[in-house]
Structure 1
């Protein structure tokens, strides 16, 4: 697909994401704890996730009938040349506790490579999006990563290792060193939001591990199109698996050095 096709396609995807976000906000104060399903102690899902996913799959399938779909709550997983990658509610635990940081994440892949991505954060009514070689945007305004080029001028985002407990100690050592060397750490609870905040310069860097494909597919493209760098914890490009993601503006080498020291 060429740039004009992707730009036009994203306009329609934005409409679908906005509609789904409106549904989420409408349901925010209506669900109760009996609507929550525990996939694991820290892995929650509700009818809001599932209905949002169904809405998005319906709309996206109309836009590109030939594309397959990978979605968090069990959508179609055929592997065609074109593939949508959907997280209908990134930050489900925040949502279920009525914390205002959650998002919808949608990426389009061609032959396994992200060519378009969108993250819609409902509570701030901010829609971040990008397409390959087309730049990155938030609500029609072009965005770019922070110009800060040293760790001591940086605010860093991360997530907590709640399932792979053998990684807890080295992870906390990374955070301890970063607390001493940076402006501080933030943990918002939505990987897609953290990536977009890195893309627009609110954070200088973001790192996390044990993520899923749908958590990072859209956000990593947005960071790269905003002028940032995305790698795994070795400095390589195996971040698409979602297991290790390091996204930065201009502090990549310095932040990577801290991570590798303890990891």
Structure 2
């Protein structure tokens, strides 16, 4: 049975907002000594893990037949299904959270088969709930949002994420960064891919690009951008941005220009 995706998105947004209250409460007294390392510069805390447990429990009530792809593995082994799969990042921006910087979010997307159909990004510090339903538009705190119509790269603001554990492509990335610095209003790096994508959807950025991403970083945000009228692809092609490890999201009008700048240096360095 296919659920009402609009109602499901509202229920999901309520679950994320309620769970964000736990993160906000923990931020006031967080002890950095309780941080663990999953890998080089890849942090995790009990807040990530407990947030994910709460989300998984709530999502199992909302849609018992769904499988899970989760960052912290609290739902057990990843279990993408033929029908429904939740894709969860319980705390996107953990490094910001650990250091007391106020940009971090909950990101939850739902796939029906191979299609993203519901997505919520809840930015905790500003208590902003971004929500999208396939074919039903995108919203911030229940107000419709839309990408900008800027079609001149020189009038745009671009977002990115810096490499933090795989530096083999650093030279290419730095040249791309330099090009965008000189050809746009500027480049921003907030530290949460989910928030960056939500901000493209809301018209706060014209475009965002990053590589070495996971599906849980971008699932909800991809749907937000698309439902707000934007475009999301891989760096040089229209390939799968959900599982393809790299994302370019834009207002659509600038997409070819943004891909063109990236392509100048990505190809030059023989990056595949």
CA distance in 2, matches of 1:234, 1:177: 16
- Give 5+ residue unaligned stretches, structure 1: none
1:165 match: 167
Q: Determine if contact 2:236/2:262 at 8 Å carries over to the other structure.
A: no
- Residue 41 of structure 2 is aligned to residue 42 of structure 1: yes
- Residue 79 of structure 1 corresponds to 80
Deviation (angstroms), 1:162: 2.0
> How many Å apart are 1:224 and its aligned residue?
0.3
Q: Secondary structure at the match of 1:162?
A: coil
Task: Trace 1:74-153 onto structure 2 (pairs within 5 A).
Answer: 74=73, 75-76=75-76, 77-80=78-81, 81-153=83-155
Q: 2:68 & 2:34 partners in 1: Cα distance?
A: 26
C-alpha separation in 2, matches of 1:168 and 1:20: 36
| 2:213 counterpart SS class | coil
Please state whether the residue corresponding to 1:7 is helix, strand or coil. Answer: helix
Q: 1:221 aligns with which of 203, 220, 223?
A: 223
In structure 1, the residue matched to 2:249 is 247
Give the C-alpha shift of residue 31 in structure 1.
Answer: 2.2
Q: Is the aligned partner of 1:69 residue 2:71?
A: no
CA distance in 2, matches of 1:189, 1:169: 20
Matching residue within 260, 264, 270 for 1:261: 264
- The aligned residue for residue 12 of structure 1 is 11
Residues 129 and 141 in structure 2, CA contact (< 8 A), matched pair in contact too: yes
The answer to whether the Cα contact below 8 Å between 1:215 and 1:242 also exists between their aligned partners in 2 is no
- Tell whether 2:57 aligns with 1:58: yes
Question: Contact 1:89–1:104 (CA<8 Å) still a contact in 2?
Answer: yes
Cα separation, 2, equivalents of 1:175 and 1:187: 11
Alpha-carbon offset, residue 164 of structure 1: 1.9
Q: CA deviation at 1:30?
A: 1.6
SS of the residue aligned with 1:129?
Answer: strand
Q: Scaled by the length of structure 2, what TM-score is found?
A: 0.94
In structure 2, the partner of 1:190 is 192
Check the 8 A contact 2:36/2:44 in 1, yes or no: yes
RMSD (Å) for aligned C-alpha atoms: 1.2
Shift of 1:69: 1.0
TM-score, length of structure 1 as denominator length: 0.97
Contact 1:135–1:226 (8 Å) recurs in 2: yes
8 Å CA contact retained: 1:153, 1:182? yes
Shift of 1:242: 4.6
The list of structure 1 runs, each at least 4 consecutive aligned residues, that deviate by more than 6 angstroms after superposition, is none
Displacement, 1:237?
2.4
Partner of 1:199: 201
* Number of positions where the alignment pairs a residue of Structure 1 with one of Structure 2: 262
Rounded Cα–Cα distance in structure 2 between residues aligned with 1:215 and 1:140 = 22
Contact 2:40 2:165 in 1 (8 A): no
- DSSP-derived class of the 2:164 partner: coil
Does the 8 A contact of 2:160 with 2:209 survive in 1? yes
